[in-house]
């Protein structure tokens, strides 16, 4: 029996999958979509999960849709004599939001805690400066290096130990909604019978600026690519309106530019027109910030026409992000329309 969008999103959010270590997430997606009608699934050497969807017709334009499986996290780089773990970030993480947070470390999901110097030891001049990652450590309750080495090894990954739950007015909170929400959206697309053949790629290493999506695009060789992402919703206190980027609850976000891609303007306008024609609330991404897999996809082979459709998400790259489920529903509706319309324009 097919799982619902919310069931898939919860399973994906709770899974551990830092960049370069996405196997648990890939397994969840594979086990679900392999039973969907017309889906043929393979994994490439970069770890991307490539799903070919058989439709009723051959398209005029070969279409690829993608969402990345990886999340930000940590990698263990040193174990000291007292059993504390030093680490490096995997992806962009703000050190201000992680002190005191629970982690799961390594394949065995050892409980840990992100520690820092006690408050009464902090010098006066340090209070106005964010704690640097180099000054943090992970405490797994070991007393010695030998004890810690029985539980953890260098190169192990750590992720936030976060719950997944509904809250407020139709919202959910959980870790890694960037971009497990995008993955869950594309899984919804794959459930339906398709009008045209298309390909969905669940990609790796996006959070570390890797080129895995470019590898997938080279294999698929599409004419048009739609990247389904979660992007920063800045609609929170202390952020001026012109810095909002987008607003949660006002529909999918369509980009014309970010720090990695100048999007195809004809496609940008076409997508916005389709939203109006189908009464789907949508918004333009304001401000030029961040990038996504489109950066690498649009450069593959002889060039690929890119589109980005994003879910507004607050607090990404932290222990908890939020999305509005109404935004998710509208994004699913839009992606289903694009899977037909972009094949024939």
Alpha-carbon torsion 329, 7, 166, 313, what sign?
negative
> Distances in Å between the alpha carbon of 344 and those of 76, 198, 210?
48, 12, 31
| Paired sense of beta strands 85-90 and 55-57, if any | unpaired
Please choose, from the candidates 14, 22, 42, 65, the residue with its C-alpha nearest in 3D space to the C-alpha of residue 208. Answer: 22
The span from the CA of 229 to the CA of 235, in Å, is 18
Phi and psi at 72, nearest 5°, equal -75, 155
Residue 341 designated active-site: no
The span from the CA of 260 to the CA of 59, in Å, is 28
* Cis, bond preceding 179 (omega within 30 deg of 0): yes
The span from the CA of 136 to the CA of 138, in Å, is 7
> Distances in Å between the alpha carbon of 181 and those of 13, 122, 152, 290, 309?
8, 39, 30, 18, 12
Sequence-ordered strand ranges (E) for 59-101: 63-68, 73-79, 85-90
| 3-state SS string for 96-151 | HHCCCCEEEECCCCEEEEEECCCHHHCCHHHCCCCCCHHHCEEECCCCCHHHHHCC
- Asked if 104 and 49 touch (Cβ cutoff 8 Å), the reply is no
- Annotated active-site residue in 22, 71, 206, 229: 206
The span from the CA of 229 to the CA of 192, in Å, is 21
Summary count for the chain: helices (H), strands (E):
8, 19
The span from the CA of 59 to the CA of 196, in Å, is 6
- Which residues have a catalytic role annotated? 206
């Amino acid at each position: 029996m097919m799982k619902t969008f919310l069931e898939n999103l919860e399973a994906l959010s709770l899974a551990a999958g830092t960049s370069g270590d996405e196997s648990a997430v890939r397994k969840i997606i594979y086990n679900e979509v392999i039973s969907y009608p017309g889906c043929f699934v393979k994994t490439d050497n970069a770890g991307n999960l490539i799903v070919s969807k058989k439709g009723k017709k051959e398209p005029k334009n070969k279409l690829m849709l993608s969402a990345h499986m990886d999340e930000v996290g940590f990698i263990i780089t040193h174990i000291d004599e007292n059993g504390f773990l030093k680490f490096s970030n995997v992806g962009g993480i703000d050190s201000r939001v992680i002190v005191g947070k629970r982690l799961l470390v390594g394949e065995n999901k050892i409980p840990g805690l992100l520690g820092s110097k006690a408050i009464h030891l902090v010098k006066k001049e340090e209070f106005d400066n964010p704690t640097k990652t180099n000054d943090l450590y992970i405490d797994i309750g070991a007393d010695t290096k030998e004890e810690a080495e029985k539980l953890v090894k260098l190169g192990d990954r750590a992720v936030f130990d976060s719950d997944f739950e509904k809250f407020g007015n139709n919202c959910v909170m959980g870790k890694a909604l960037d971009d497990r929400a995008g993955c869950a959206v594309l899984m919804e697309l794959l459930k339906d019978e398709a009008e045209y053949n298309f390909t969905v790629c669940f990609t790796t290493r996006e959070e570390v600026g890797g080129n895995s999506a470019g590898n997938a695009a080279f294999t698929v060789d599409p004419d048009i690519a739609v990247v389904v992402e979660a992007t920063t919703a800045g609609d929170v206190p202390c952020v001026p309106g012109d810095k909002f980027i987008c607003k949660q609850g006002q529909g999918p976000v369509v980009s014309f530019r970010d720090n990695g891609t100048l999007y195809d303007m004809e496609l940008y306008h076409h997508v916005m027109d389709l939203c109006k024609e189908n009464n789907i609330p949508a918004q333009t991404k304001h401000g030029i910030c961040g990038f996504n897999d489109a950066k690498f996809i649009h450069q593959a082979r002889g060039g690929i026409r890119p589109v980005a459709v994003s879910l507004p998400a607050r607090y990404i790259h932290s222990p908890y992000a939020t999305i509005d489920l109404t935004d998710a529903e509208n994004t699913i509706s839009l992606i289903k329309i694009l899977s037909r319309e972009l094949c024939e324009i």
